[in-house]
Each structure stands twice: as C-alpha cells, then as structure tokens.
Chain A
Amino acid sequence: MRSHFTIIAALAILATLAPAPAAAQEAGDLETVLPDTIPLDTTPPAPVTGLTVRDYVDNDDDGTKIELAWTPSPDDGAGAADVLAYHVWRSTTAGVVGDSVGVAGAGSATFLDETAVPGTDYHYGVTAFDGTSHSAPATAGPVRGVRNWFAVSRTAVLVLAVVFFALVLAFTQLAERGAELFVRRIPGLNAIEEAVGRATEMGRPVLYVPGIGEIDNIMTIASLTILSHVAKITARYETPLIVPTARAVVMSAAEEVVKEAYAEAGHPDSYNRDNIRYLSDAQFAFAGAVNGIMLREKPAANLYLGAFWAESLLLAETGFEAGAIQVAGTAMVSQLPFFVTACDYTLLGEELYAASAYLSREPKLLGGLKGSDWMKVVTIALVVLGIILNAVGVESFAEWFHTS
C-alpha cells in the first residue's frame, strides 16, 4: 500500500514540474498551433425569400408594431448549414438598407418590430448572417403602423354575436306578444322545490353554495338569480336558508338577493343575516368549512350552483354521506362528472343559465332561451358547412373563424 502512495506522489511532483500545454500555446506562435489550411468563410449564405410585412394588431394597439415573416435561407439548418442569425433592417427610403432594428436567431421565420413610429412608411430588409458575411437582403414595404379601431380578425365573432343577439331579442319580442314558447323539462330545476319541501318536512335548513367564483364570473351571477328563486321558496316555507360564500362581494350580493326575496315573499322578518356567511377565500379552507356546516347543522337539502373547481367532489361526497338531497349545476365541464356521480340531480352546463327563465317562466326570459336554442342550430349548420367545404378543399371559410 505504501509503495502505491510513493508512486502517486512521484507522479504528482513530475506533473507540477512539466510545462503545461496552455503555457506552450502562450509562448509559441498561434500559427504553429492553428493550421493555415482553414480558409475564412467568405461565401455569404443564400438569402431569405418571401419576405412579407404587415401592421401588427394586438390587444393594446398603439401603432408601433410591424410584423415581418419570411422563408428561412436554404443554408439555415441545411445546405451550408452556417446561418447564425437573421438581421432586420429598416429604412424610410426604398432601396436603402437603413438601420438595424433587431436580430432573430437561426431557424426563425418571423420578427416583431415594436419601435415603429405610427403613421410612418417603412421599408424593411432581412439578411441571413453566417458570422462573417451577410446575404443579399430580401426587401418588402412600404408598411405603416396604424392605431386600429377594429380588430379585423374578430369579424366572425362580431357577426355571430350580432346574429345571436338579434335572435334573442326577436324571441323576447315574440314572447312578450304572447307567443307560446316550448321549453323542455329540466328535472334538476323541478327538483329544487322538492328538495326545499323535504327540508321543510324534516325541519332542517337548506344549504345553498353559490360556488367559489368571483362576482365577475357569469356563473356566479346566474347562481344569484337562482338563489333569488330559492330564497322565495324557503321564505314561503319558513325554512332556514344557509348561504356560505368564498368571496366577500358575493356575500354582499347574496345578502341583498336573499333579503329582497324574503321581503317579496312577504316574510321579511324571517330573514337571518347570519345565515349568509363569508367563510374563506382559500379554496380548501372554504370546502372544509362548508363540510363542517353539513355535518354540524345537518341541512336536508344541498344546492351547489355556480362555479366550482376541485372542491366540487369534496362538497358533494360529504353531502351524500350526510344523507342530504343534492342538486348541483355548473358550467365547469371538468367538474360535471363529479356532480353527476355524487348528486341526485345535476344541471349540465347551459341548464345553469336556463334556470332563471325556467323557474320564473317570465316570457322575456324565455325568449332568451329560445334565442340560444336557435343559435345552436346556426352553429351546428356552420360546423357541418365548414366540414363539407374543408373536405372539398375550400379552407377560406374555416379560416374566417380563426381569431387572434
């Protein structure tokens, strides 16, 4: 063992005494190290082709953005495979390369110039660069940045929205004139009154959870409209209604909704403000607190209507274990399977938005439902037409619906 250490130590000493290769390079002439047979690359890469320039419209259009697109040089990743970058040049005069406005890496085919002066005509050039020389520039222009007042790419959405609103308003007018509008039976909504009735018979409260969405969530607004109807029923039956909320603004709105509903039902004194509760903004703290209410205050009917995320099954399974009749409704597609599994009735997607019209049977609200149904017919017709046109090679129709 000792002899091994002696050999290693001797080798280490020799290594420190021997001249280092780096030192040799520093001392010697570079030409002795680098063979003079490597020629400098003086051949410029092949130029880019198909350069296009356009005014770029985004959601904060201040007219300073111009988008360039091109087909990369044949020497980018293939051919000589020596393109390192693309240089973008800008000038206000045609035929002049102008100033550099930026560099895009090899493999790029687009560049966004965000420094244009609105209303100024520009000519652009793009050169491929291999580290020593530039290709001949591809040029395009003139183009000017404009502060747009309309997003042309959203025309299809606007047209469809106008058609839809026209349908809704037309059916609302029809309904107001007394036309009979058929609305299919929605079992989940019929079950709400049954659930409240059951809670009344058992002398236990009704729990109404309007989801954990903020007040700017349309599902929460739809839920508040249903809450108004539910509160009127509980007021009539004099059954306590507990509304736990995860958002303070929703709590304030729910207070107003329930208070007004109790007043309209002729039972303003039955309204108990302590039953409209703010619990927590934290998702699972809220779920835990609602579960606690289910287990301690034992509501006989649980209504979950609004925007729900991962807490949906935590609530619905606890309610199931507690033996309550449960009605749920949400437009969160990923949560629907959980509610369908754990609840007695579930409002699927759009049924949540239909609830207010269905429960109140107000002609004006029913008109909105009919408008939605006819818009579905229009949508299905457009989808079928798009499929047929795409199948026969006409893609412009489907492309018209692309938005940015």
Chain B
Amino acid sequence: MRRQLPLALCFIFGVFTAIQYYVPHFRVQWFQERLLQWLMTLLAFAFLLGTVSLIKVHYHKLRDRAPDRGFSLVVFAGLFTMIGLGFIHPDHHAPGSPFNQMFLNVQVPIEATMFSLLAFYVASAAFRAFRARTLEATLLLIAAAIVMLGRVPIGDLISPKIPEATRWILEVPNLTAKRGVMIGVGLGMMATALKIMLGIERAWMGGSD
C-alpha cells in the first residue's frame, strides 16, 4: 500500500495532465488550474520542512563544534534577523520597511556579486576550452574567435564579412545542433514521463522494486 497509493495517484494525475493538453473545455481547464494551486500550496508547506532541515544541520554543526561552525552562526544571524524584521513591520514588502531594506541592500547586492563572478569564470573556462590541442578544439577556437569578433564593432571594422560569418555560425551549425539536442531532450522527457506514469520507473520514489 505504501507504494501502490503514490503510484496510483501518479498515474491518475499524470494521465489527466497529459489529456488536458488536448481538451480546451473550460471545466477541464478549471480543474487543471486547481491542481496547480494545490501544487503551490504543497510547495509552501514543504518550505517549512526545508527551514527545519537548515536549522537542524547548522545546529548540529554548532553542537559538535565543527571547524567551520562560524558560518553556521552567520546562517542563524541572517535567518532570525530576517524572520524578526518580517514580524516587526505589518507590511514587510512596503518600500522602506526594515525587511525590504535588508533585502534590497544586503541580499540583492550579494546575489548580484555572485552573478557577476560568472564573467570571470567564463573567461577562465574559455581559456581552457580554447586551447587548440585537437582538431575539434581548434575548430571551436576558430568559431569562438569569429563569433566574439562579430559581436563587437571592431569585427565589422576589420571586415564586414565577420558579422555575417558570426550570424551564419549561430543560425546554421549552432542552431542545427541545438535543435538536434532539443528533439532528443523532448523525446527523452516524454519517455521518462510515460515510464513514471505507468510505474515502470520507480527509482524516484526510493528503491527500485
């Protein structure tokens, strides 16, 4: 029963979700919308589980005097400060509220910093990828050099053919490869969904029987 009930629910809701794609009738779509709302409600409750897990893991680090426990203190300071600030102001999303101020002036800049690191990581990864050690790597290097030059004004100054070559590389060989991968991905997704709906694939539930 522990396995049969989830499998039965998975089959029923999986088949319904597949069928509703072909049935535009408003009553069917109304039920589909309710399903999505239930999913959101479920996710909101699960968020509590996540917070409990976070607190537990870092509490254990502090209790066991783990070498990197200082980071756990930072996690608790951030977590409880934000929870506290959320309760202080009736509308924590209001501009100027302490919660919103902390979000805009602490979290957003930190996330932007992480994102901007990507530029340096792209440069270091490209440096490794563009070493002409094999024929494929050499082709990649040439294609990348053309595309990079074609995307900046100096490329056009060197020769108007460079932006044209860039466009051709992106729209013909690059797009062809992308579409090939995407067709495979689409079929893989459908096959996986079918196997899960029919209960052929069960490892996602834990165990394989």
CB <8 Å contact, A168 and B194:
yes
- Whether B114 and A314, one on each chain, are in contact in the complex, defined by CB atoms closer than 8 angstroms, is yes
Interface centre among B48, B121, B181 (most CB of A within 10 A): B121
Give Cα A264–Cα B208 distance, bound, in whole angstroms. Answer: 9
Contacts of A190-238 to chain B: CB distance below 8 A: 214, 216, 218, 221-222, 224-225, 228-229
**A350/B184 in contact, CB under 8 A:** yes
Verify A151–B204 contact, CB threshold 8 A.
no
In this assembly, does B141 line the interface, its C-beta being within 8 Å of a C-beta of chain A? no
Cα of A175 to Cα of B18 in the assembled complex, Å: 26
Choice from B49, B110, B206 contacting A251 with Cβ under 8 Å = B49
Q: Which of B21, B107, B117 contacts A154 (CB 8 A)?
A: B21
With the chains together, A360 CA to B204 CA distance in Å? 13
Q: Are A151 and B200 in contact (CB under 8 A)?
A: no
On whether the beta carbons of B207 and A260 are closer than 8 Å, the reply is yes
Q: What sequence of 0s and 1s flags, for each residue 254-295 of chain A, a beta carbon within 8 Å of any chain B beta carbon? A: 001111110110000000001011110111110110001000
Would you call B46 and A154 a contact (CB within 8 A)?
A: no
Comparing A58-66, A82-90, A101-109, A387-395, the segment that makes contact with chain B is: A58-66
Which among A257, A310, A372 is the interface contact of B118 at CB below 8 angstroms? Answer: A310
Report whether A249 and B43 are in contact in the complex, using a CB–CB cutoff of 8 Å: yes
| Residues in A whose Cβ lies below 8 Å from that of B51 | 248, 278
How far apart are A18's CB and chain B's nearest CB, in angstroms?
Answer: 50
Do B22 and A353 have beta carbons less than 8 Å apart? no
Asked whether B129 is an interface residue with its Cβ less than 8 Å from the other chain, the reply is yes
For B204, give its contact among A63, A228, A282, A331 (CB under 8 Å): A228
For B, the interface residue count at a CB cutoff of 8 angstroms equals: 62
Question: Of B26, B42, B56, B192, which is within 8 A of A274 by CB?
Answer: B56
The 8 Å CB contact of A350, one of B39, B122, B188, B204, is B188
- How far is it, in angstroms, between the C-alpha of A59 and the C-alpha of B71 when the chains are bound? 49
The segment from A44-52, A120-128, A158-166 that touches chain B is A158-166
User: In the complex, what distance in Å separates the CA atom of A369 from the CA atom of B188?
Assistant: 8
Q: Are B111 and A151 in contact (CB under 8 A)?
A: no
A313 close to chain B: CB less than 8 A: yes
**Closest residue of chain B to A342, judged by CB?**
B125
* Shortest distance between the CB of B50 and any CB in chain A (Å): 3
Complex interface: chain A residues within 8 A of B111 (CB): 282-285
Chain B residues in 8 Å Cβ range of A251:
49-50, 53
Give chain A residues whose Cβ lies under 8 Å from the Cβ of B190: 161, 164, 372
A245-B47 Cα distance, complex, nearest whole Å: 12
Contact partner of A375 (CB less than 8 A), chosen from B26, B47, B56, B187, is: B187
Q: Which residues on the B side are within 8 Å of A281 (C-beta)?
A: 47, 50
Q: Is B25 an interface residue (CB 8 A)?
A: yes
